[in-house]
Amino acid sequence: MPELHHRIGLDFPPQEVFAWHERPGGLERLVPPWTKLGVCSLAAEAEKVPCLQLRLGLGPVRLNWELVRKERRADELLVYEQLEGPFESWRWERRFEPTPAGGTAVVDLVRWKSPPGLLGGAFSEAGVRETLRRALEFQAGSLPVDLDRVQRYGPGAGRSVAITGATGLVGTALGHLLGASGFRVRRISRSPYGGRGEREDWVRWDPGAEQLPSAPLEGLHAFVHLAGESIAGARWTRAKKEAILASRVEGTSLVSRTLAELDRPPEVLISASAVGYYGHRGVETLNEESDPGRGFLAEVCKRWEASTHHARARGIRTVHLRSGLILSARGGPLETLLIPFGLGLGGRIGTGRQYLSWIDLDDQAGIIMHAMTEDSVRGAINVTSPNPVTNTVFTDILGRVLRRPTLIPLPGIAVGALLGEMGIELLLSGQRVFPEKALSSRYQFRFPHLEDSLRHQLGRPEGIHE
């Protein structure tokens, strides 16, 4: 039976490393972004036994895979075995061994048996071994960053955070990061309990009907407001533009008023915004003090940020997240680009000279956590990498990471004809934004450079051949 051994050293004691693995969100944080994973709890007679539910992609085919925890020794050992899935058998042992310097050696042993027949060809020993190696190397890079965040910003034990837009790309990542750091996360959703069954940490709201229960929000440490109508995916008709504006202004006003009326309001309200605030600015260097620009998105962002005035008047520290293009293999623009670029059909858009201010999803969640706990952060904060790039540079780097040519441009006139105002503002306009407030408040970017972010998100380290 094939097996793989892996070992990493961490400068944190076994108790802290083990505790991180057992908190809500910890196991999700271990999964590389280029894979798909859902985590559930299976109720046993005496206790809840964690079960990992994965979906494996083989081209157009998706396979379900369930692992159940079979053994646990506090601060020492976790063992998961396949309950159902594509392998004939699978066992993953993770040991937490103390080191003489007071740290932890995380030692993994994985044993598996590939399925027989045609399916077995898709799970060759060499292929499984390489996939495992990449996943464990991903964890070797991510674990110390997360544990350092726990020390820097937490632990969050005893502190609660509410999140609207909690099932979206950013809300999901933030919820996992905060949960693994020890915060209690209350997810605010339009669907009852997020469509995931009745749970006390799910709160239903209806911003259109101005309904947001106040009782579950008393005594929060922070409220993170991320909900809003998507601005991409369809032409901006009059009705679409009205929905985009209303979802942001009315939803944010409801949140702001509700928090201001609480007996025990949160210490901080963190509300989403976007670099669209600055409009199309060419090569101009922009920071949080720069004037707003012109255009539909700029007007939306100005009114969006102004909608927090009730919370500010109550004395709640308020932060506006002026986010750039969020990079994640799990969704958003990068996932959309992977199909044409993966087929070698990618290329620059328009002139290619428009600036793209981007942020890795992990840093997006990290800056929100930073803003939650750093009292000096208030008002607008640019949630962007310190290294914005032009569209041409972005195109070239993505092609290099994917090892694909990028020779097919999309002319600006075609963008306008196909997508109208949406395409012009989202694809042909640009902002060269710098995160001065994040840097001055000593946020440590994990991915300040684009190529490192793309390789992290897509699982394409230097030298890999596929």
82 and 158 housed in the same domain: no
Nearest Cα neighbor of 290 from 384, 168, 431, 416 is: 431
The answer as to whether 308 is a domain residue is yes
The domain tally of the chain equals: 2
214 and 313 housed in the same domain: yes
The answer as to whether 137 is a domain residue is no
**What is the per-residue burial (b if ≥16 Cβ within 10 Å, else e) of 25-61?**
bbbbbbbbbbbebebeeeeeeeeeebbbbbebeeeee
Q: How far apart are CA 253 and CA 134, in angstroms?
A: 45
The answer as to whether 145 is a domain residue is no
Pair 358, 324: CB distance under 8 Å: yes
248 and 165 housed in the same domain: yes
Q: What is the pLDDT of residue 307?
A: 98
Q: How far apart are CA 426 and CA 276, in angstroms?
A: 9
Amino acid at 340: P
Q: What is the pLDDT of residue 57?
A: 64
Q: What is the pLDDT of residue 157?
A: 67
308 and 271 housed in the same domain: yes
Between 82-86, 138-142, 444-448, 449-453, the lowest mean confidence (pLDDT) is in: 82-86
Phi, psi of 198 (to 5 degrees): -75, 120
Could you tell me the residue range of the domain that residue 418 belongs to? 153-458
- Helix or strand (DSSP H, E) at 104: strand 104-113
* Mean pLDDT, residues 206-224 taken together: 94
The answer as to whether 300 is a domain residue is yes
The length of the chain in residues reads 466
120 and 214 housed in the same domain: no
pLDDT tens digits, residue range 155-200?
A: 776 799 999 999 999 999 999 999 999 999 999 998 765 545 446 6
**Domain stops at, among 107, 125, 143:** 125
Residue 455 pLDDT > 70, yes or no? yes
Query: pLDDT category, 201, cuts 50, 70, 90?
Result: confident
pLDDT tens digits, residue range 25-74?
A: 998 999 999 886 677 655 444 456 777 777 776 666 677 888 889 999 99
Q: What is the CATH number of the domain that holds 219?
A: 3.40.50.720
Query: pLDDT category, 407, cuts 50, 70, 90?
Result: very high
- Give the angle 137-139-144 at the CA atoms, nearest 5°: 115
159 and 121 housed in the same domain: no
Residue 154 pLDDT > 80, yes or no? no
Q: Give every CB contact of residue 189 below 8 A, 6+ residues apart in sequence.
A: 164, 166, 167, 195, 202, 203, 204, 205
Nearest Cα neighbor of 166 from 90, 94, 224 is: 224
Q: What is the CATH number of the domain that holds 108?
A: 3.30.530.20
Pair 252, 279: CB distance under 8 Å: no
Q: How far apart are CA 251 and CA 15, in angstroms?
A: 41
Q: What is the pLDDT of residue 45?
A: 40
Nearest Cα neighbor of 388 from 445, 340, 345 is: 445
Amino acid at 201: D
The answer as to whether 146 is a domain residue is no
Between 13-17, 151-155, 336-340, 455-459, the lowest mean confidence (pLDDT) is in: 151-155
Phi, psi of 99 (to 5 degrees): -105, 160
* Mean pLDDT, residues 290-304 taken together: 96
* Mean pLDDT, residues 377-402 taken together: 97
Q: Give percent of the chain above pLDDT 70.
A: 92
Nearest Cα neighbor of 429 from 290, 325, 289, 321 is: 325
Between 38-52, 131-145, 276-290, 361-375, the lowest mean confidence (pLDDT) is in: 38-52
* Residue reference for tokens 């012009």: 424
Pair 457, 362: CB distance under 8 Å: no
Nearest Cα neighbor of 274 from 203, 314, 323, 340 is: 323
367 and 433 housed in the same domain: yes
343 and 434 housed in the same domain: yes
DSSP for 175-216 reads HHHHHHTT-EEEEEESSGGGGS---TTEEE-BGGGTB--SGG
Amino acid at 254: L
Pair 325, 169: CB distance under 8 Å: no
446 and 353 housed in the same domain: yes
Q: What is the dihedral of CA 154, 159, 165, 166, to 10 degrees?
A: 80
Q: How far apart are CA 154 and CA 369, in angstroms?
A: 10
Residue 355 pLDDT > 60, yes or no? yes
16 and 158 housed in the same domain: no
Q: Rounded to two decimals, what is the model's pTM?
A: 0.93
Burial class (CB in 10 A: 0-12, 13-18, 19+), 201: middle
The answer as to whether 64 is a domain residue is yes
Q: How far apart are CA 466 and CA 460, in angstroms?
A: 9
**What is the per-residue burial (b if ≥16 Cβ within 10 Å, else e) of 4-17?**
bebebebebbbebb
pLDDT tens digits, residue range 229-260?
A: 889 877 899 999 999 999 999 999 999 999 99
DSSP for 382-445 reads EES-S--EEHHHHHHHHHHHHT------B-HHHHHHHHHHHHIIIII---EE--HHHHHTT---
194 sits in the region (left: phi over 0; alpha: psi -120 to 50; else beta) called left
162 and 99 housed in the same domain: no
The answer as to whether 337 is a domain residue is yes
The answer as to whether 48 is a domain residue is yes
Burial class (CB in 10 A: 0-12, 13-18, 19+), 248: buried
178 and 269 housed in the same domain: yes
Q: What is the pLDDT of residue 247?
A: 93
Q: What is the pLDDT of residue 47?
A: 52
Residue 466 pLDDT > 60, yes or no? no
Query: pLDDT category, 463, cuts 50, 70, 90?
Result: low
Beta sheet of 3-10, edge-to-edge order: 3-10, 104-113, 89-98, 77-84, 61-73, 48-58, 36-43
